[in-house]
Amino acid sequence: MKVRVFVTLKNGVLDPQGEAVGHALSALGFAGVNGVRQGKVIDLDLAGEDADAVRAEVTDMCEKLLANTVIENYEIELG
């Protein structure tokens, strides 16, 4: 089963990479960019067809490794 995990910083956590991208966009002449938050996307190809079991396994992966749950949120998309 194909799974996509989106990991983003929680609101209120400073995002220096997002700020750098925002400044670079402004310097390149892109007006109207009021803010940039950067995250990551992780694509997984897992054995298993039971969506609930796969979601539970990926949640465990996120909690243990893929996301720093102190400062990051994650969203799981099954495909």
- Residue 21: its H or E element: helix 16-27
Which CATH number fits the domain that encloses residue 23? 3.30.1280.10
Domain that holds residue 27: 2-78
Give me the tens of pLDDT residue by residue for the chain, a chain 79 residues long: 999 999 999 999 999 999 999 999 999 999 999 999 999 999 999 999 999 999 999 999 999 999 999 999 999 999 9
Question: How far is CA 76 from its chain centroid?
Answer: 9
When divided into structural domains, the chain yields a total of 1
Output b/e per residue, 20-47; b: 16+ Cβ within 10 A: eebeeeeeeeeeeeeebeebeebeeeee
Query: pTM of the prediction?
Result: 0.89
> Do the bridges between strand 39-45 and strand 72-78 make them parallel or antiparallel, or are there none, so unpaired?
unpaired
